[in-house]
Structure 1
Amino acid sequence: MMANPVLLQRKYARIIVLLAEQLHISLAQALDYFMRSKTYELMSEGIADIHCLSDAYLTEEIIREYTS
């Protein structure tokens, strides 16, 4: 199921802000991390309805991608 594009863009923005806060990095750096993540790829392709998961969970998943 594909999410509404506007709602998905808002979700992306919330996740980027959370990444910046949790990693103590700029929004530009957080955007770069987000756009290069496998999680973003899955969300943008609508795979497994991953966009339905919470912002906090998806943020942690992206952090795990970079720390593993």
Structure 2
Amino acid sequence: MTANPILLQKKYSRVVECFAKLQGLSLDEALNFFYHSEVYQLIRDGVSDMHCMSDMYLAEELEQEYANKIENDINGVKTN
């Protein structure tokens, strides 16, 4: 299922703001990570109706992805 593009943009902004607060990142840093994340791709592509999930759920999913990226960067594992 696809969502209205305007509603998705609003959803993205709420999720990014929540993620930034959870991680203590600037909005620019959070936005940059978001637009390069798997979570964004899943929402954008309408996979599993991810756009229907709560903002906090999606921010927590981003948190997990961010933690994995940091860990991989520390261990020298190449990521996308």
TM over 0.5, yes or no? yes
Query: Gaps (5+ residues) in structure 2?
Result: 69-80
Q: Which runs of 5+ in 1 are unaligned?
A: none
Aligned partners of 1:37 and 1:30: how far apart in 2?
A: 10
CA distance in structure 1 between the partners assigned to 2:67 and 2:27 by the alignment: 19
1:9 and 2:9 aligned: yes
Residues 1-68 of structure 1 aligned to structure 2 (within 5 Å): 1-68=1-68
Structure number with higher relative contact order (C-alpha < 8 Å, ≥ 6 residues apart):
1
Cα distance in 2, alignment partners of residues 23 and 63 from structure 1: 7
RMSD across aligned positions (CA): 0.8
Alignment TM-score, normalising by the size of structure 2: 0.81
TM-score by length of 1: 0.94
- AA aligned to 1:24 is G
Q: Which runs of 4+ in 1 moved over 4 A?
A: none
Q: Which has the larger radius of gyration?
A: 2
